[in-house]
């Protein structure tokens, strides 16, 4: 039997100059979680959709606050 759970997610964007190469770039990233009986808080209770939404937004805003790195510089950094 297959169960499908609802996804709560948002796409965040940031733009600016790459902190490595200096080129202007625009990046987007999707942050999400599912609302399901296995997604629990530290106290063991199931997270509410509002709590999931708050966590997703907090992660997205934290990502937006990090320095801009373009995809090509990011992949070159990972290979070295």
pLDDT tens digit sequence for 4-36: 999 999 999 999 999 999 999 999 999 999 999
- For the chain, the domains span 6-75
77 Cβ contact list (under 8 Å, min separation 6) = 20, 69
Contact 13, 41 (CB under 8 A): no
pTM to 2 decimals?
0.83
Q: Which secondary structure element, helix H or strand E, spans residue 10, and what is its range?
A: strand 6-17
Residue % of the chain over a pLDDT of 70: 99
pLDDT band at 78 (very low <50, low <70, confident <90, very high): confident
């Amino acid at each position: 039997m297959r169960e499908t759970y609802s996804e709560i997610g948002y796409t965040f964007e940031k733009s600016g100059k790459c902190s490595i190469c200096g080129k202007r770039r625009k990046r987007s990233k999707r942050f999400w979680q599912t609302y399901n009986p296995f997604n629990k808080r530290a106290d063991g209770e199931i997270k509410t959709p509002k709590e999931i939404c708050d966590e997703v937004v907090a992660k997205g805003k934290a990502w937006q606050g990090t320095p801009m790195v373009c995809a090509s510089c990011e992949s070159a950094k990972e290979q070295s």
